[in-house]
Chains A and B, each alone.
Chain A
Amino acid sequence: MDAESLLLSLELASGSGQGLSPDRRASLLTSLMLVKRDYRYDRVLFWGRILGLVADYYIAQGLSEDQLAPRKTLYSLNCMEWSLLPPATEEMMVQTSVVNGRFMGDPSHEYEHTEMQKMTEGDRVFEEEIVVQIKEETRLVSVIDQIDKAVAIIPRGALFKTPFGPIHVNRTFDGLSLSEAKKLSSYFHFKEAVELKDKTLLEKADLDPSLDFMDSLEHDIPKGSWSIQMERGHALVVLRSLLWPGLTFFHAPCTKNYGYIYVGTGEKNIDLPFML
């Protein structure tokens, strides 16, 4: 959700019970402005909150002028002091995939993971236990990156591709119509397209290159990984990710108000097929 319209967005997203206490709200409104100034971001998004056992991580993201350029992620424990997180790498992803369970809420906390590694010494092959230490900060980075890649979404038409390449916020976007708002195909993944290249000519024929440059949600795997609801008597569309429970996207049809927020434990729901 946009830092500027934080209060309205929070109100809209509140149907899932994911709010912020008044003091958090006030401090976010203050500190995100400063973040925007200090880091020279074009736009600052309040990304959400990852619930830890001891403390929660508040996450914000800074966008440059090109909206789809890699985003900078910041975290804070008290909503005032923000620290920049390093960009996520493949290596981190592999490293942290062995860690499960809840976040602690302490960035310097180290998870210990014992691995059996085969050592060869001469002819003998023996296994050795190696204790790998993984910092929670690394895990945080990789989880945020995974969530961003999997379930960060944006309505169709909210961004457009300029002729020179960079992707800008579409100022003429005034919301999806009611009938469009009910379809998953009107929502895009907020990231560079991956599947788009694999589409057939037939599927591409209807696409508008200035708007349809991202992957739409409707082909997400598994099917049914989104719950789409019309709340407040169709005055509000709420999409909830079932794969990453905690991610809520809201959009008031025919208005510019849209956004997403993640409030959850930072764990992927791999039991989804059993639960549908």
Chain B
Amino acid sequence: MNQPQALRLHVPEPTGRPGCETDFSYLHVSPAGAVRRPPVDTVPQETSDLTFQLIRVLDHDGAAVGPWAPQVDAAILRKGLRAMLKTRTFDARMLIAQRQKKLSFYMQSLGEEAIGSAHALALVDGDMCFPTYRQQSLLLSRDDVPMWELMCQLMSNERDPMKGRQLPVMYSYKRAGFFSISGNLATQYIQAVGWAMASAIKGDTKIASAWIGDGATAEADFHTALTFAHVYRAPVILNVVNNQWAISTFQAIAGGESTTFAARGVGSGIASLRVDGNDFLAVYAASQWAAERARSNLGPTLIEWVTYRAGPHSTSDDPTKYRPADDWARFPLGDPIARLKQHLVRIGEWSDAQHQQVQKELEAEVAAAQKEAERYGTLLDHRMPSAAGIFEDVYETMPAHLRRQRQEMGV
């Protein structure tokens, strides 16, 4: 009998580290137009093949090709482009404001703008998103959420709708279908399923949209959400934004090596898609497919959006310490804004001049919003919501012990 070899622990590593290029071949990128589009009433296990391919619409030249190319009005695409640009401009401005100490903390969504902007178009008023902290594009693609108010939240000032209680970016907009963001990863994923179950229990027509990053799929709540969504056939879209990184941790450490996050869905009996997250048209088409499925009582859909976290994890992070500085430039799926712009120019619905004009308008809009927000204070001038307010909303009515503590504070 052979002597058994000593066992070795496998610890995944990204191919690229500072000073060393990433080999992106692990992504398995399908050519645009190459992946089939099943009917919305497909049986979940029959989406298996789709979870190891990549649904893409926009080809290298910016043409919309294949079965997923949506029939969509150019006006909608222009609106989407504007929403992406707005998100990026907002992010850039708030990053500077954080460096100026006007706010304590910020998280950009650089490179991931298409996902929320296009997904929002597939939802209707009354649907509820359960976002993470990197889906600001869901809010910024709406016309009814004032930008200055978002900035008030970021600056924790006198007009902060969260009354200064929450870290910057932890927005809550019930009326805009945007659930309160929590610092605890993945918790909202199962809550979205519960919300969707409630809609089904009441015989409603609303659906839920759950959001999670690649890293957070390792949390238990990811698995419970898949199980509950499958068991109760909940009308929910389970989005996994795979931006390849969880702070410094490559997606292989989250369990992405030699598999996909979309494949987890099929294993749980959920129809699943793997989609180019930087292809606005593919995001729109896949989101519509999943929304129609949910709204038709056909059950949940899991979608892995393949994208790249182009910016630092947060304003407290320096990615040059763990990944190549030029990584985004080499990412094979490019920049979502550049790609949609190329498409619109190609079909004669956009031009460089228009692009520059809109960019200028948005910069003015964001600057004006910031000026408005700063009227109510920034972190620098300490014009914050009242200290007495910290005792409110712990319970619906303030119990005696909190009344005593408020009195002790002397406010």
Do A and B interact?
Answer: no
Seen from chain B, the residues whose Cβ lies within 8 Å of a Cβ on chain A are none
Seen from chain A, the residues whose Cβ lies within 8 Å of a Cβ on chain B are none
